[in-house]
C-alpha cells in the first residue's frame, strides 16, 4: 500500500485557508493534519476550534486533529463538532491514557497516541488493540519547520515489530521534518502515514511535492 500523506495545515497560509484546502482536496493528500497547540503543553499557540471548524467546511478528506494540549479530555467532543474524524492525544499529557482513548472511540472517532521524541514506545504495549494509529514525533512538538531527528528510524522499526508481534492493526504516523530526503527510509522502517508541513506548503508546486513522498 502507498504511504498516506497528511499535509499539516500549520504551514498553510492562514489568510488563504480556503484556497489551501481546495489545493489539498485536488491533490493526492489523504488526510488534513490539524495541529492544535495550547501554549502550555507546547511553547506555542497555533489555532483552536473555530479555525478547525472553518477548515472542515472546505476539507473533503478526513481531518486528523493532533492535540498538543494539556488535559485533552476537556475538548474531545468540541473537536468532533469542529470536524475531527480522528484525534491523537499525547501520552505525556494523559495520566489515564486508556480512558482518554476510550472517550475518543465512544465519540465514533479514530484514536491515535502521539509520542514525543524521548518517550518510549513501551507505554503503548497494553493499548495496541485499542488504538488506530501512533504519531511518532520526529521533532519536539510546538513548531513547524524543524529538523528531523534521525533516531526516529529505529523507533519506527521497534514499534512496527511490537505491533506485528501483538497481531494488532495500528498505523504508524511520522510527524516533523518529513521531506523527500527521509520519506523512503521512513516507509522502509514501517511508517504508513507521513505528516508534512513546510515541505508541502513551502514547495513551489505543493501537489507535486505531495506526490513525491507518496511512495
Ligand atoms: C509540530 C507539529 C507538526 C508540524 C510539522 O509540533 O505537530 O505537525 O506542523 O511541520 P513540518 O513538516 O514543517 O516539520
Ligand atoms: Zn502534528
Q: Is the CB of 10 under 6 A from ligand 1?
A: yes
Q: Could you list the pLDDT tens digit for every one of the 215 residues in the chain?
A: 999 999 999 999 999 999 999 999 999 999 999 999 999 999 999 999 999 999 999 999 999 999 999 999 999 999 999 999 999 999 999 999 999 999 999 999 999 999 999 999 999 999 999 999 999 999 999 999 999 999 999 999 999 999 999 999 999 999 999 999 999 999 999 999 999 999 999 999 999 999 999 99
Domain ranges of the chain: 4-213
Of all protein residues, the one whose alpha carbon is nearest to atom 9 of ligand 1 is: 144
pTM higher than 0.90, yes or no?
A: yes
ipTM above 0.90, yes or no: yes
What DSSP string describes 85-150? SEEEEEGGG-TTHHHHHHHHHHTT-EEEEEE-TTS-GGGGTTTTTT-SEEEEESS-TT-SSPPPPT
Binding site membership of 46 for ligand 1 (Cβ less than 6 Å) = no
For ligand 2, the distance from its centroid to the CA atom of residue 174, given in whole angstroms, is 9
Return the pLDDT at 31.
99
Q: Please pick, among 35, 38, 64, 132, the residue that the annotation labels catalytic.
A: 35
The class that CATH gives domain 4-213 is alpha beta
* 197, 200, 203: residue to mutate for ligand 1 pocket, most atoms within 8 A of CB: 197
Amino acid at each position: 500500500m502507498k504511504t498516506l500523506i497528511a499535509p499539516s495545515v500549520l504551514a498553510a497560509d492562514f489568510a488563504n485557508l480556503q484556497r489551501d484546502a481546495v489545493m489539498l482536496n485536488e491533490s493526492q493528500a489523504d488526510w488534513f493534519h490539524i495541529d492544535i497547540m495550547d501554549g502550555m503543553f507546547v511553547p506555542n499557540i497555533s489555532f483552536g476550534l473555530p479555525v478547525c471548524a472553518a477548515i472542515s467546511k472546505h476539507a473533503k478528506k478526513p481531518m486528523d486533529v493532533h492535540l498538543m494540549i494539556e488535559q485533552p479530555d476537556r475538548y474531545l467532543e468540541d473537536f468532533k463538532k469542529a470536524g475531527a474524524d480522528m484525534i491523537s492525544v499525547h501520552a505525556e499529557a494523559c495520566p489515564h491514557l486508556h480512558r482518554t482513548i476510550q472517550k475518543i472511540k465512544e465519540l465514533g472517532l479514530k484514536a491515535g497516541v502521539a509520542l514525543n521524541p524521548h518517550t518510549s514506545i513501551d507505554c503503548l504495549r497494553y493499548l495496541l488493540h485499542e488504538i488506530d494509529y501512533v504519531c511518532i514525533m520526529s521533532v519536539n512538538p510546538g513548531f513547524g519547520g524543524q529538523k528531523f531527528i534521525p533516531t526516529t528510524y529505529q523507533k519506527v522499526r521497534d514499534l512496527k515489530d511490537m505491533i506485528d508481534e501483538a497481531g494488532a492493526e495500528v498505523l504508524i504516523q511520522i510527524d516533523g521534518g518529513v521531506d523527500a530526503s527521509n520519506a523512503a527510509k521512513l516507509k522502509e522502517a514501517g511508517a504508513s502515514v507521513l505528516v508534512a508541513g513546510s515541505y508541502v506548503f513551502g514547495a513551489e508546486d505543493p501537489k507535486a511535492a505531495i506526490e513525491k513522498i507518496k511512495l
